[in-house]
Amino acid sequence: MVDATSQDNEVVSGTAGPVRDFTLRSAFALAFSDVSPIVGIYSVFGLGLAIAGPAFWWAFPIVLIGQLMVTGVFGDLVSKWPFSGSVYQWSRELLGPRYGWFTSWAYSWGFVITIAVVALAAAGFLAPALGLNDLSQFQTDLLAAAILAFGTMANMIGSKFLKGLLYISLTCELLASLGIGFAMFAHRQHPFSIVFDTMGTGGSGSWVLGPFLAVVAYTGFSFVGFESAGSIAEEVREARHVLPKAIVLSLVAAGALVMFAALALVLAIPNLDDVLSGKDTNPIVTTLETHLGAIWGRIFLLFLAIGFIASMIAVQAAVSRAIWASARAREIPFSRQLSKLSGSERLPRVVLAFTAITAIVLMFILASPKAFTILLSASTAGIFLSYLLPVVAAAVVRARGGWQPGPVAMGKWGTAVTYLAAIWITLETVNIAWPRDSYGGDQFLNWSIVIAIVVLGLAGLVISTIMLKSAGETADNMFEPTVSAEE
């Protein structure tokens, strides 16, 4: 990216806003923890290997390249509009209040649900790491609620405590990812050519259009969260210059670690046939225990728990700012309460409490496997729609010739990268929502992401009509950019 000016113009709010206490390093730590390479590896590795064989590894660089184009667009947008709420604010500025409202709606639901899902996953790893191997579902939910309460406290106490936790998480992520990678390369069982072997997973159809395309969809979950640095924009010093770097670097670093560790694990798996047959359902732990001993299985579970907890904390920090920004604009119910800032650092503690309570309620109400799958589908739909909308909006504005860059921009590559990013994120969103048979013939679950998009869209249409009307907005400015107060 190219600096367009040395002057960093900051947002001027009508009331006292958040305290600017984040720097490039801490904003990077937040986004890096949100992406979380160790979570990304574990979430996709076993599934990808079973579906598409060792050649599934190529989904990582493909998705990483696509998402890096998205970070380029987000970097341009955050430099021009360094406002709390990231994707919501960018969409609002690009194509108007209603378009921004739907981006916020998708983002808020997508990531509030993610808080619940990640807290449950963290509990699932923390319990066996501590020797608690026989917890009931209710006990697991209680542990997840306790983890979420801890994360909420970390977000409420203040930036120093939060940044300290993020730096600890970053250190653990680096040690785990690099340590696993180097250790597994030292215990390599297969030649490097194994990553070109599908091991018959294509069946009688096309491997690329079947198993591999599915893995590309699942791998998309490994490379999200980088926008979280932009969500705290009004808490970052020199935000216009710092945040484009934090957003891009967080994904570059996390993506490189994911690819490195995943490649090492593929090469070190002791029995690929067991994984492909379904006999080995946890190939990462199996591989580590085979080569390093049983104690490393428990250590890896602890690292996973730390990674998931840190990711949950970062997600909550990001989504709380988006909800707060919508409340500040009086665009959501209970705006007066949700827009309050408190404490010496002026944090959105009411919103943080709201996200925690909502996530805990979801955990206990939707405890069955089928309900959990529906919950996960709604989260997935919200996340990728909230990425799709601002990128497409940026492409539309560039096509109209109305784009004026901020102090930091992609320069002459900006238009081409924005168009390619819009094509990529659209195709990936369709790929993720595609009703492939992933649930043993249960058509409702196969279509659950599409259903979630339709249900959330219709609910959003009703609520947005009421809220934007009460806020003084009309359908006439639905696709007109708004003007921000800047120095």
What is the per-residue pLDDT across 59-96, written as a single tens digit (0 to 9) for each? 999 999 999 999 999 999 999 999 988 999 999 999 99
pLDDT at 477 over 60: no
Residue 4 lies in a domain: no
pLDDT at 487 over 70: no
Residue 409 CA to residue 414 CA, distance in Å, equals 7
The answer, yes or no, to whether residue 367 has pLDDT greater than 70, is: no
The secondary structure of 152-205 as a DSSP string is HHHHHH-HHHHHHHHHHHHHHHHHHHHHHHHHHHHT--S-GGGGG--TTTTTTS
Q: Which residues of 72-90 are buried (b: 16+ CB within 10 A; e: fewer)?
A: bbbbbbbbbbbbbbbbbbb
- Its domain, for residue 431, covers 19-477
Render pLDDT for 110-139 as a digit per residue (tens, 0 to 9): 899 889 988 988 888 888 888 887 788 888
Q: Which pLDDT band, with edges at 50, 70 and 90, does 471 fall under?
A: low
- The contacts of residue 349 (CB under 8 Å, 6+ apart) are 156, 340, 341, 342, 343
Do 247 and 1 touch, CB atoms closer than 8 A? no
The count of structural domains within the chain is 1
| Mean pLDDT score of the chain | 85
Averaged pLDDT for residues 371-389:
82
What pTM was estimated for this model as a whole?
0.87
State mean pLDDT over 374-390: 85
Highest mean predicted confidence (pLDDT) among 60-69, 213-222, 430-439: 60-69
**Is pLDDT at 58 greater than 90 in this prediction?**
yes
- pLDDT over 70, % of the chain: 91
Asked if 384 contacts 432 with a C-beta cutoff of 8 angstroms, the reply is yes
The pLDDT-based confidence of 150 (bands split at 50, 70, 90) is: very high
State both tokens at 211: 């198993």
pLDDT digits over 394-432, tens only?
Answer: 999 999 998 999 998 898 899 999 999 999 999 999 998
Residue 472: predicted pLDDT: 57
Place of tokens 């917890």: 135
Give tens-digit pLDDT for 1-45: 444 333 343 443 444 567 787 899 999 999 999 888 888 888 888
pLDDT at residue 17, rounded to an integer: 67
Highest mean pLDDT range out of 98-102, 284-288, 377-381?
98-102
Q: Would 2 be classed as within a structural domain?
A: no
Could you tell me if residue 7 is inside a domain? no
More confident residue, 461 or 132: 461
pLDDT computed for residue 160 by the predictor: 84
Instruction: Identify the band that residue 479 occupies on the pLDDT scale cut at 50, 70 and 90.
Output: very low
Between CA 384 and CA 375 the distance in angstroms is 15
| Tokens 């043993």 sit on residue | 440
Assign residue 79 the CATH number of its domain.
1.20.1740.10
- What ranges make up the beta strands (E) of 343-432? 408-409
Position of tokens 């949100």? 34
CA distance 95 to 390: 9
